[in-house]
Structure 1
Amino acid sequence: MPRLVDHELRRRQITGAVRRLIVRGGLDAVTFQSVAAEAGFSVSLVQYYCGTKRDLLLATHRSVMENVGTRFARRWAALGEDILPREAVRAVLTELLPLDEQRREETIVLGAFGTGSVTGQGITTEETLTASRLLVSIVADQLGRAHHLQPAVHRIDLIAELITASIAGIAQGLIQGHGTAQLAEELVDQQLDLVLGPRDENPSESAIDDTTP
């Protein structure tokens, strides 16, 4: 009998090879030949699953976002329904920091796609921004649940944009060797202090109000 082929496994092996190549050499390192060699497949097999280089890159981007989304969903479910706004936002932000090898790889790969979307690598900004917009929405929603916000906070949507932009910068800084994991987490806490007030000085900060200020 002919052996059954696990097509989903083949796709994961191919996109995994692309991810490793991007980590080592950026998007320019990705060719059908290099991917085939990295995955241990023939060029024709890689082309069968991903017809063009653009298809190959987009499939890889989707695979990274699916991995991030699955991990994030597990983390979010573990927080429970009674999670306080500060803890919820902190969990979201620290999950995005490259504090282990998997998240380090994801940060490098997504950073390469972000750069590639503005330097003519065959993908567009719109195809890489969905996750960022969702993140801003989640942060804004959680800040909106907080009973206490600092007086300088007039628009939660802008604060959410600022926080998510800064976490991307912190993550890239860690990849480049700037600072430590401890510093990164301290920077997250500092941002939350500026928005919600110092936690140890404001125990009532955790109170939840279902209406957005």
Structure 2
Amino acid sequence: MPKKVDPEERRRLIADALMRVAAEQGLESVSLRHVAARAGVSAGMVQHYFSSRDEMMSFALTVVRERSQLRVTEALAGLGADPPPRLLLRTMIAALLPLDDATRDNGRVALAFLAYTAVRPAAAAELHDDTAQMVDFVAGLLKVPDPVGAAASLLALMEGLGIYLLGGQYTAQRALQALDAHLDLLFPS
């Protein structure tokens, strides 16, 4: 009897390989051949599940987004039922920042995908929705004169801190200090 193969599991295996290639060599090194080699499968198998590099990249971007959401959900679960807004935001942003080796690889891949979507409007569409939802969520937690502007500013700070962490300009401690200083402005004691 032939072995049953879970197509979604295979697609995720390939997406994981794509992310390892991207984290180690950059997104420009991602090809069907490189991804197949990294996944330990044939190029034909990759082509069976993804008809093009763009389709493979789009699926991997979805996996990156899902993993980020899972990290945030897990971090927030430890806060209890009704955490104070400042603590909720700090925990959420800290979960998204590349503060350690494990999240640094994810951060490199996410940054590479951000550059990828900059020139592919169709791939960027989902990110636009995610960003709008994130701004709305954060704005709903802020009690300042311009909550939408303050939310956009906080999220821009998060992205900048992520880039500084990935580039080695900031340590995790320095990034969290900068985040706390900004949160102190939004939530004065």
> What displacement does 1:29 show?
0.8
Contact 1:58 1:123 in 2 (8 A): no
Contact 1:88 1:142 in 2 (8 A): no
What residue number does 2:84 align with? Answer: 84
What residue number does 1:174 align with? Answer: 165
Contact 2:107 2:162 in 1 (8 A): yes
Aligned length: 189
1:21 and 2:45 matched: no
Could you say what secondary structure the match of 1:129 adopts? Answer: helix
What residue number does 2:116 align with? Answer: 116
* Cα offsets for 1:9-51 (capped at 9, x unmatched): 2111100010011112222111111111111111110011111
Contact 2:164 2:170 in 1 (8 A): yes
Contact 2:100 2:172 in 1 (8 A): no
Contact 1:54 1:123 in 2 (8 A): no
Q: Which structure 1 segments of 5+ residues have no match?
A: 145-152, 203-213
Percent identity between the two aligned chains: 32
Structure 1 residue identity aligned to 2:53: K
* Cα offsets for 1:110-146 (capped at 9, x unmatched): 11111112245x85432333332232222112224xx
What residue number does 1:129 align with? Answer: 128
Matches within 5 A, 1:3-42: 3-42=3-42
What residue number does 1:47 align with? Answer: 47
CA separation in 1, counterparts of 2:113 and 2:46? 20
What residue number does 2:142 align with? Answer: 143
CA separation in 2, counterparts of 1:105 and 1:134? 25
Q: CA RMSD in A?
A: 1.7
Contact 2:117 2:124 in 1 (8 A): yes
Deviates more, 1:172-181 or 1:76-85: 76-85
Could you say what secondary structure the match of 2:3 adopts? Answer: coil
Could you say what secondary structure the match of 1:132 adopts? Answer: helix
Q: Which structure ranks higher in relative contact order (CA pairs < 8 Å, sequence separation ≥ 6)? A: 1
> Normalising to structure 2: TM-score of the pair?
0.92
Contact 1:116 1:123 in 2 (8 A): no
* Cα offsets for 1:50-94 (capped at 9, x unmatched): 111111000000011111112212222332222111111111111
CA separation in 2, counterparts of 1:2 and 1:118? 43
> Normalising to structure 1: TM-score of the pair?
0.82
Structure 1 residue identity aligned to 2:36: A
CA separation in 2, counterparts of 1:77 and 1:186? 23
Q: Which structure 2 segments of 5+ residues have no match?
A: none
Matches within 5 A, 1:42-81: 42-81=42-81
CA separation in 2, counterparts of 1:63 and 1:111? 14
> Which structure's residues are more often helix, by fraction?
2
Distance 1:124 1:82, change over 3 A: closer
